[in-house]
Amino acid sequence: MDKNKGKGKEHLKIINSYAGSHGKLIMVGRILAAISAILALIPYYDIWKIIKVATEGEELDRIKPLAIEAVVLIVLSLLIYILALLCTHKAAFRIQANMRIALMRRIITLPLGVFDEDGTGKIRRIVNDSTAATETFIAHNIPDRVVAKVTPLGIMVLIFAFNWKIGLFCLIPAVIGFLCMMSMMGKNMQEKMAEYQTALESMSSEATEYVRGIPVVKTFGQTVHSFTSFKAEIDNYGRWTTAYTLMLRGPMIAFMTCINSIFMFLVFAAYIFIGAGNVPQASEILNIMYYIIVTPLITVALTKVAYSGEAEMTLIDALNRVNYIMGIEPLEEAKYAEEPKNASVELRNVTYRYKDASRDAVNDVSVRIEEGQHVAFVGPSGSGKTTICDLIARFFDVSSGEILIGDVNVKSIDSARLMEQISFVFQDSRLIKTSILENVRMAKPDASEEEVMEALKKAQCMDIIEKFKNGIHTVIGEKGTYLSGGEQQRITIARAILKDAPILILDEATAFADPDNEAKVQAAFDEMSQGKTMIMIAHRLSTVTGADKIYVMDDGRVVEQGSHEELIGRVGLYKRLYDEYTKSVEWKVGA
């Protein structure tokens, strides 16, 4: 119990670290909520006095001022509670903004490989949902928690002040309900809450990847079941929530039964303490009527305590996830940055293993690519091709070995300078909702329109520009203006041409292009690669036959290397892959 309290205080410290000067508003909101809860209970004492006047035949004129006092206190309590909410809401919005700013500042410093390992869906959900959960807790649950703590204390005074025997009897179901509620909380339930959020994150991440892959699904006529990981996450979430609901069914039924049966216990109390068949005295009628009015407050108070406990568990899990992102260290920057001497790339005994993986993705790879050389990495899926390119660009740091660009270790090159050295064209091209001009200009923000047009010409994009009335000022995604996958790819190539980096990495850049677009994309590559060090990853082996050297990967290792002619002349993995590729291209439906 003390541990949980300690954790609660620890997480409130985390909240205060983002609050700044607005932390005082949270304290003011708590104080106002406590005052509101006390004022809301006083009218029940006025009600007791009103009932007393009515049952004992006192002067009825005394009822009016008591009723006015009760109404004024209720209205005053409501106004003070609204002020409390205003304070906590203002603090909550500021804390949420500060938290998101801090997260985004951290995220933009993280290595790009983090987004591949954790998935953009998971990271986006943490930024959006975890900060939103924090905002909800501060804005609504903090004042509610104060009310939930103060109200039971006030109720204890009210129910014991007039007839402690009846009051004690009414507390029996409340105590049992409280014990049922506590059985649904604690360390075990906190772990379950974390599992629930993790299941949601995994499903969200897989959903994002599925949506991105819809073009492939439609192209090949597949169903959702072809995305086995997405379906597995949905099934896993369904199984988990069903098991979780069944686990809580018993305690929840018992809790709801107890807190809603207090009135029944009041009936038993009246029967026992007044006695069957006896005519009750005025004071006894007064107390019974009073308890009929007051005891529902116990149900309301316990319900608030239950929901505030659940809200706190959600908050703790949300803050843990925020701390996870904040705890990821950016790649270490060089204290004394060095300048690459040329555009050569070298891997020396490079090994890398992904987080939680059981084997190395890349194992002891040594390769040297000279300046201006065009090379290709080929091999079966999962052989480590893309990982090598990610390591060259320092999306990750190697587990062992070293990578050099221009004979300088990438760890010794300033990150901004390293990005200036490398251009990327991925198979999954991304354009943002802005003009074609600005999409291309992202590679060089100070580029003129003439420079952008020249890059678009070299990327074989003029047919795209000419079909739009506004030309390069056409906003992609606006008023039904969309580009095909191959057209987006060519715009991305124009971006890389404008950047004019000495090292070019092409990762399956023609994987989903149609024949017409593929020819234009290939022509754009020829234009772009002149005088550049080019590294290609491809499954379409026809696109790499002209490479100066081909590295054949298998199970994280380079198993063969040489030109296309040299590798075809051997009986090895490359020849087998090329023969299989040739057969797939030449395959025709028989008559």
Q: Say if residue 518 is in the same domain as residue 485.
A: yes
pLDDT at 590: 45
Q: Say if residue 456 is in the same domain as residue 351.
A: yes
pLDDT bucket at 2, cuts 50 / 70 / 90: very low
* Domain range enclosing 472: 345-586
Query: Is residue 228 one of the residues assigned to a domain?
Result: yes
Q: Say if residue 297 is in the same domain as residue 435.
A: no
Q: Say if residue 457 is in the same domain as residue 321.
A: no
Q: Say if residue 469 is in the same domain as residue 571.
A: yes
Query: Is residue 459 one of the residues assigned to a domain?
Result: yes
Residue closest to 213 by CA, chosen among 200, 228, 202: 228
Query: Is residue 545 one of the residues assigned to a domain?
Result: yes
pLDDT at 402: 92
Q: Say if residue 480 is in the same domain as residue 545.
A: yes
User: Is 60 exceeded by the pLDDT of residue 430?
Assistant: yes
Mean pLDDT over residues 121-141, rounded?
83
pLDDT at 311: 75
Q: Say if residue 229 is in the same domain as residue 370.
A: no
Angle at CA of residue 396, ends 391 and 401, nearest 5°: 60
CATH of residue 160's domain is 1.20.1560.10
In tens, the pLDDT along 388-417 reads: 888 888 888 888 999 999 999 988 888 888
Q: Say if residue 314 is in the same domain as residue 389.
A: no
Q: Say if residue 322 is in the same domain as residue 350.
A: no
pLDDT bucket at 204, cuts 50 / 70 / 90: low
User: Is 70 exceeded by the pLDDT of residue 96?
Assistant: yes
Is the separation of the CB atoms in 521 and 528 below 8 Å? no
- Give dist(CA 513, CA 488) in Å, integer: 10
Residue 585, exposed/middle/buried by CB under 10 A (0-12, 13-18, 19+)? exposed
pLDDT at 220: 43
Q: Say if residue 223 is in the same domain as residue 353.
A: no
Query: Is residue 337 one of the residues assigned to a domain?
Result: no
Query: Is residue 335 one of the residues assigned to a domain?
Result: no
Structure token digits, residue 325: 């992102």
In tens, the pLDDT along 29-69 reads: 999 999 998 898 888 888 877 877 776 666 667 788 888 88
- Give dist(CA 591, CA 584) in Å, integer: 17
Q: Say if residue 386 is in the same domain as residue 349.
A: yes
Q: Which amino acid is at 149?
A: K
Max mean pLDDT range (47-56, 184-193, 432-441): 432-441
Query: Is residue 451 one of the residues assigned to a domain?
Result: yes
Angle at CA of residue 406, ends 374 and 522, nearest 5°: 25
Q: How many domains does the chain have?
A: 2
User: Is 60 exceeded by the pLDDT of residue 11?
Assistant: yes
Q: Say if residue 500 is in the same domain as residue 381.
A: yes
Domain boundary pick from 279, 295, 327: 327
- Give dist(CA 50, CA 512) in Å, integer: 81
User: Is 80 exceeded by the pLDDT of residue 344?
Assistant: yes
CATH of residue 512's domain is 3.40.50.300
Query: Is residue 339 one of the residues assigned to a domain?
Result: no
